[in-house]
Structure 1
Amino acid sequence: MNGTPRTVIVVGSGPTGLLLAGDLAAAGLPVTLVEKRSPEISNLSRAFGLHARSLEQLDARGLAEPLEAIGRRLDRLRFFDLRLDFGALPSRFNHVLMVPQYEVEKVLRERAARAGVEFRYETEVTGVRQDRDGVTVAVRGPGGVPGELRARYVVGADGVRSAVRHAVGLPFPGRAVIRSVVIADVRFAEESGAELVGDSVPGAFVVIAPFGDGYHRVVGWQREHNVPDSEPVDLAEVKELVRRVTGRDFGMRDPRWLSRFHSEERQVPAYRVGRVLLAGDAAHVHSPAGGQGMNTGLQDAANLSWKLAAVLHGRAPDTLLDSYQSERHPVGRSVLRSSGGMIRLAMASRPWSRALRSAAVTTLDHAGPVRRRVAGLISGVGYRYAAPRGAHPLTGRRAPDVALAGGGRLYEALRGGRFVLITPDPPNVGGGDGAGDGDGRADRLVVARWASGRRTAVLVRPDGYVAWAAREADGAAVAAALAAHVG
């Protein structure tokens, strides 16, 4: 079962692992994806929507359009009287796309398979041992057959109970915030409205989100019904909870999924231990409030994949991987805080706490800049990464999907997993629009010009963040930036 050593082993075939493995394989790297489930078992998780930044990352891989075609776009969110308008986001995806996680996994799995990822299903990680040259992963394959796999790096994207995290001895500090949350995908006989809606009464809340396929996702909780996750959920319980909070059950019927879970807030102190890295729920887990879990994991993968590819192709030092921790750990911490604040708003039951919630919501509702900032953080477009002192103000910021000369746009240019250099005029790097230079950068650099009259030169990383920028940059400055970032 040892097989040929792989460059990277990704553990976990959820959205995070699939995006990461697909990126690495598309970059020409041998990748094995290890999953303890069988391929027939759908990952029916509580994730139910894609935010703007995740859609941008999928767009950079040519995957946003198929999901947009089957999902339902919501440009507003009402969460316990707090109204957020995503229609004002500075993104072509100025909405939340309601689409089940298994649909996201489907398009990511198909892409990974086309790129050449080796899938090993029904294979469970039982140990991880790393040395100076690589990592040995002990596994138990189909039928319980033991074996070992070898790679230069291993990424654990295997969820909240991560075997990889446990094997490298990383703590997962935090606590359970709320228990016995019910979750259901059901049809409604009555229309619930076009918004994602959260409502509450003392001691109970529900969140209702419409999918684009006739089903609605219902998430609910009531304080006095605190039972183990293993306790079965039936449609009658969900109906009673929704009636208690909203006054009606919308003619709920035809459940395709009923489950119960508890919500935790946890984050590992380090996303990297030598040659082992963690991403998604293996690194951070939080309440489903705001629908940020799957989205944060996808953005972890987008940040890590191009860095691993650069290191493994010999274009960057191993220390580049340290920036994955410095960039993504603060984002994970911020998501814990924002989702935790939202779930605590939902759980407010005492008169003083509900009055405090009402006052906070009223303040936010009348503070446009604050409300826009909250929408930016929940959607992911509001995050930026730290930049070196003295760097251009654009450095570290998310690059919007700007128009390029010739009719293209930035996120189309990013689809090859390459850097994109945008300049006012073609710099002396050879090839002009859409080409790299004569020193072998064509496979990792696209050169383009602004469609507008902008005079700033901008180098955009493969994950859509600005690596370098300068106004009126000369050829020497551009060449230095390319050498430092592209290799």
Structure 2
Amino acid sequence: MKTVVVGAGPTGLLLAGDLAAAGVEVTVLERRTGESNLTRAFGVHARTLEVLDARGLADELVATGTVVSRLRLFNRVRVDLGVLPSRFPYVLITPQYNVEKLLERRALDRGARILRGVTVTGLRDGAVLAGEETYEADFVVGADGVHSAVREALGMPFPGKAVLRSIMLADVRLTDAPVDVLAVNSVGDAFAFVAPFGDGWFRIFAWDRLAQQPDTAPLTLDEVRAVTLRALGTDFGMREARFLSRFHSDERQVPAYRKGSVFLAGDAAHVHSPAGGQGMNTGLQDAANLSWKLAAVAQGWAPAGLLDSYDSERHPVGELVLRSSGGLIRLAMLHSRASRAGRDLLGGALLRVPAVMRRAAGTVSGIGIGYPDAPRQPDVLLSQGSRMYELLRAGRHVLTGPSVPAGYEDRLVHAAADRFVLVRPDGYIAWTGTEGELPVALRRHLGPPR
């Protein structure tokens, strides 16, 4: 089976690495000819770190960045990520290009082919078209961003609207770093967010209600400095910029993530405000959900309807992320002093309630997000000192329990335990039950035995 992935961002690279590791022939087509370190994403949340841990990459990535266990959203609103039931109770601040480097290395090491400087121009039954070149494919995955050529070739609508215009984006050097690592605040007419890259540069998002400009308008360091000073009370000694740009933030989602043999993932399927830093994370979790299902088809054991479950599971998650990030950005943009004071007072009070704090931290981090028939499997210590997410590195289901029927060795990793639990390759629980129910459960989730 041949799969073509369009887009060599984090979503496409994780998907390609998983497919190649499963023995699937995969080609990645990327329009860019080189790498860029001027990327918008810089936060890796706990659930994404678990996804990377299941691929042996999390610890290496954590070493590249800064750990933040508490988020200060507004003056009195704090989200404590330390309450998360995860090996990674924090958000990791590291540039997107560090994520891409690890995922690209893994994909190439597993045998994926990555072709750069290739512009996709259309789709034809069983093929991706790129100018005069044709790439045959049994399945195509569009992971090519908000301006997806795959989505356009499908004629797929992308309904939604612009939420915030004229956002300033800058990479700068600061004389004085923020005390809280991350700094964020709004004052009605101005908003600013500051985060470290870890190499002496800082990422700034800023917005000025009083000076709305088109995306093409030039941006100066003085303008970013002035808005940051208004929003945060200091410009941190901002003194140098390597990148300045404007962009607008949309909220959009395709009606369906699948059309026949073509799938959409990441920003090609959904875009939303940068509030909460959930964009790249949601795309990576799209890829983790889809990859093992495509591999199951290629290996010949996929149960009926498995590929359809990609849309039924991930589309609602995309909707949730649109709502949560949209809610955060609207709270940040409140205009009147009274409404902002009410936001800070009520938000601060609510988040002092442990159950509310856990839910907020779980939603932002992804730890609290599961599927109706498949809740998240926490990392646990298993027999002989192994961890659940270490066993998931094989790219197969993990079955804990006293025994396992023969004929599933190619699809299962078994760990001795008192309780039967079947965990999917993406770290969600497929089934729990008794030994008498096990043969039926395995047939339903893994097909008949060899």
Answer yes or no: same fold by TM over 0.5.
yes
The residue number in structure 1 matching 2:375 is 397
- Asked if 2 retains the 8 angstrom alpha-carbon contact of 1:48 and 1:100, the reply is yes
- Asked if 2 retains the 8 angstrom alpha-carbon contact of 1:194 and 1:210, the reply is no
Using the TM superposition, give the Cα deviation of residue 258 of structure 1 relative to its aligned residue in structure 2, in angstroms.
Answer: 2.2
Residues 18-41 of structure 1, C-alpha deviations (whole Å, 9 max, x = no match) = 000110011000001011110x23
- Asked if 2 retains the 8 angstrom alpha-carbon contact of 1:138 and 1:149, the reply is yes
Residues 128-185 of structure 1, C-alpha deviations (whole Å, 9 max, x = no match) = 123xxxx221112xxxxx2211110100000001110111111100000001111122
**C-alpha separation between the residues in 1 aligned to 2:209 and 2:62?**
37
- Asked if 2 retains the 8 angstrom alpha-carbon contact of 1:48 and 1:99, the reply is yes
**C-alpha separation between the residues in 2 aligned to 1:242 and 1:302?**
37
Question: Do structure 1's residue 267 and structure 2's residue 247 form an aligned pair?
Answer: no
Go from structure 1 to structure 2 and tell me whether the alpha carbon gap of 1:193 and 1:355 turns closer, same or farther (over 3 Å shift).
closer
The residue number in structure 2 matching 1:78 is 72
Q: What is the RMSD computed on CA atoms of the aligned residues?
A: 1.5
More moved, 119-128 vs 20-29 = 119-128
Aligned partner (choices 359, 369, 374) of residue 383 of structure 1: 369
Question: Do structure 1's residue 26 and structure 2's residue 21 form an aligned pair?
Answer: yes
The residue number in structure 2 matching 1:279 is 265
- Asked if 2 retains the 8 angstrom alpha-carbon contact of 1:186 and 1:255, the reply is yes
**C-alpha separation between the residues in 1 aligned to 2:115 and 2:404?**
46
Question: Do structure 1's residue 238 and structure 2's residue 217 form an aligned pair?
Answer: no
Aligned partner (choices 434, 437, 442) of residue 477 of structure 1: 437
Using the TM superposition, give the Cα deviation of residue 93 of structure 1 relative to its aligned residue in structure 2, in angstroms.
Answer: 0.4
- Asked if 1 retains the 8 angstrom alpha-carbon contact of 2:303 and 2:446, the reply is no
Aligned-pair identity in percent equals 57
Q: Which runs of 5 or more structure 1 residues have no equivalent in the other structure?
A: 1-5, 141-145, 388-395, 430-436
Q: Which runs of 5 or more structure 2 residues have no equivalent in the other structure?
A: none
Amino acid at match of 1:414: L
Using the TM superposition, give the Cα deviation of residue 195 of structure 1 relative to its aligned residue in structure 2, in angstroms.
Answer: 4.1
Aligned partner (choices 38, 42, 46) of residue 48 of structure 1: 42
**C-alpha separation between the residues in 2 aligned to 1:10 and 1:44?**
23
The residue number in structure 2 matching 1:406 is 384
Question: Do structure 1's residue 66 and structure 2's residue 60 form an aligned pair?
Answer: yes
- Asked if 1 retains the 8 angstrom alpha-carbon contact of 2:303 and 2:444, the reply is no
Aligned partner (choices 169, 194, 197) of residue 183 of structure 1: 169
Matched residue of 1:202: which SS? coil
**C-alpha separation between the residues in 2 aligned to 1:444 and 1:44?**
40
The residue number in structure 2 matching 1:464 is 427
Aligned partner (choices 324, 338, 363) of residue 324 of structure 2: 338
The residue number in structure 2 matching 1:348 is 334
Using the TM superposition, give the Cα deviation of residue 311 of structure 1 relative to its aligned residue in structure 2, in angstroms.
Answer: 1.1
Residues 12-60 of structure 1, C-alpha deviations (whole Å, 9 max, x = no match) = 011000000110011000001011110x231632111100000000000
- Asked if 2 retains the 8 angstrom alpha-carbon contact of 1:83 and 1:365, the reply is yes
**C-alpha separation between the residues in 2 aligned to 1:345 and 1:183?**
20
Amino acid at match of 2:128: V
- Asked if 2 retains the 8 angstrom alpha-carbon contact of 1:159 and 1:281, the reply is yes
Go from structure 1 to structure 2 and tell me whether the alpha carbon gap of 1:43 and 1:246 turns closer, same or farther (over 3 Å shift).
closer
- Asked if 1 retains the 8 angstrom alpha-carbon contact of 2:404 and 2:414, the reply is no
**C-alpha separation between the residues in 2 aligned to 1:32 and 1:10?**
6
Aligned partner (choices 197, 200, 203) of residue 183 of structure 2: 197
Using the TM superposition, give the Cα deviation of residue 359 of structure 1 relative to its aligned residue in structure 2, in angstroms.
Answer: 4.5
The residue number in structure 2 matching 1:390 is none
The residue number in structure 2 matching 1:9 is 4
Matched residue of 1:319: which SS? coil
Using the TM superposition, give the Cα deviation of residue 469 of structure 1 relative to its aligned residue in structure 2, in angstroms.
Answer: 0.5
**C-alpha separation between the residues in 2 aligned to 1:271 and 1:67?**
29
The residue number in structure 2 matching 1:137 is 128
Matched residue of 2:13: which SS? helix
The 5-angstrom pairing of residues 212-361 of structure 1 reads 212-317=198-303, 319-361=305-347
Matched residue of 1:288: which SS? coil
**C-alpha separation between the residues in 2 aligned to 1:457 and 1:313?**
25
Amino acid at match of 1:17: G
- Asked if 2 retains the 8 angstrom alpha-carbon contact of 1:35 and 1:124, the reply is yes
Question: Do structure 1's residue 114 and structure 2's residue 105 form an aligned pair?
Answer: no
Question: Do structure 1's residue 447 and structure 2's residue 442 form an aligned pair?
Answer: no
Matched residue of 2:193: which SS? strand
Matched residue of 1:241: which SS? helix
The residue number in structure 1 matching 2:91 is 96
The residue number in structure 1 matching 2:31 is 36
Using the TM superposition, give the Cα deviation of residue 313 of structure 1 relative to its aligned residue in structure 2, in angstroms.
Answer: 1.4
- Asked if 2 retains the 8 angstrom alpha-carbon contact of 1:76 and 1:195, the reply is no
Give the TM-score normalised by structure 1.
0.89
Residues 101-149 of structure 1, C-alpha deviations (whole Å, 9 max, x = no match) = 011001101111111111121111111123xxxx221112xxxxx2211
Amino acid at match of 1:128: L
Amino acid at match of 2:274: P
| Misfit runs of 4+, over 6 Å | none
